[in-house]
């Protein structure tokens, strides 16, 4: 689906939900799985905790839907709310992320986008090395790489979600990729 089609579908869902509260279920249906994956990737929370966080996210989205500024893509706005809610939950629990949960295919996708892979990464030993590289990145680099390569957000969306200027986003992506590549070279993965 193209961005414009997604944007058009979002506009229709938002307009319908503003008129009829029952139509809000369309927004939940459209974004639940995507946001679940995003929260799982950027946090250490269990499935039950993620479901609780998403319930809180959708309550906030519903509460503030009439104040939504459509000059920003709806997907960007909802990701921003989700990210901020996750950060609030981490602060409330006074804990730092222990590990990020990425599936094997997500690891491979992230590396294909970020690195020039010369070896097959099918063995669990190599996948474990890759996980360690990604988990070893500072949170700000890991988060921006996840948004860019797994969530497939463009620079403008990442800027809005993270509330950072374009130069900072570009720098974080570039440095994160370099850090991944350097560590992968050290471990002879590429």
For 66-103, the pLDDT digits (tens) are 999 888 899 999 999 999 999 999 888 765 444 455 56
H-helix or E-strand spanning residue 186:
helix 166-186
60 and 81: one domain?
yes
Q: Are residues 76 and 121 in the same domain?
A: no
Residue 14 sits in the same domain as residue 85: yes
Residue 98 lies in a domain: no
Higher pLDDT pick, 32 / 4? 32
* Cα–Cα dist 136/56, whole Å: 29
Shared-domain flag, residues 156 and 126: yes
The confidence score (pLDDT) of residue 42 equals: 85
Q: Which residue has the higher pLDDT, 130 or 138?
A: 138
Q: Which of 27, 58, 93 is the last residue of a domain?
A: 93
**Whole-number average pLDDT of the chain:** 82
Residue 77: domain span: 3-93
Share of the chain above pLDDT 90, in %: 48
pLDDT of amino acid 101 = 57
At residue 4, does pLDDT exceed 80? no
- Report the candidate in 96, 58, 51, 72 with the shortest Cα–Cα distance to residue 153: 72
Domain termination site, one of 33, 66, 93:
93
Among 45, 69, 93, the domain boundary falls at 93
Residues with Cβ < 8 Å from 137, sequence gap 6 or more? 145, 176, 179, 180
pLDDT in tens, 110-126: 655 555 444 444 555 66
Overall number of domains in the chain: 2
pLDDT band at 148 (very low <50, low <70, confident <90, very high): confident
Angle formed at CA 134 by CA 129 and CA 137, multiple of 5 degrees: 125
Q: Are residues 115 and 84 in the same domain?
A: no
Does one domain contain both 83 and 124? no
Question: Does residue 44 form part of some domain?
Answer: yes
Q: Does the model's pTM come out above 0.95?
A: no
């Amino acid at each position: 689906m193209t961005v414009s089609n997604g944007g058009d579908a979002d506009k229709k869902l938002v307009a319908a939900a503003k008129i009829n509260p029952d139509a809000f279920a369309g927004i939940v249906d459209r974004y639940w799985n995507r946001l679940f994956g995003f929260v799982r990737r950027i946090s250490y929370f269990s499935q039950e905790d993620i479901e609780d966080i998403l319930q809180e996210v959708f309550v906030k989205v519903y509460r503030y839907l009439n104040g939504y500024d459509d000059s920003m893509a709806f997907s960007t706005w909802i990701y921003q709310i989700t990210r901020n809610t996750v950060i609030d939950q981490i602060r409330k629990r006074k804990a730092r992320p222990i590990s990020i949960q990425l599936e094997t295919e997500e690891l491979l996708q992230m590396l294909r986008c970020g690195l020039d892979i010369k070896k097959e990464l099918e063995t669990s030993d190599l996948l474990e090395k890759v996980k360690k590289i990604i988990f070893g990145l500072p949170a700000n680099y890991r988060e921006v790489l996840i948004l860019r390569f797994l969530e497939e957000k463009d620079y403008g969306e990442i800027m809005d979600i993270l509330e950072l200027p374009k130069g900072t986003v570009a720098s974080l992506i570039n440095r994160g990729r370099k850090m991944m590549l350097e560590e992968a070279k050290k471990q002879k993965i590429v």
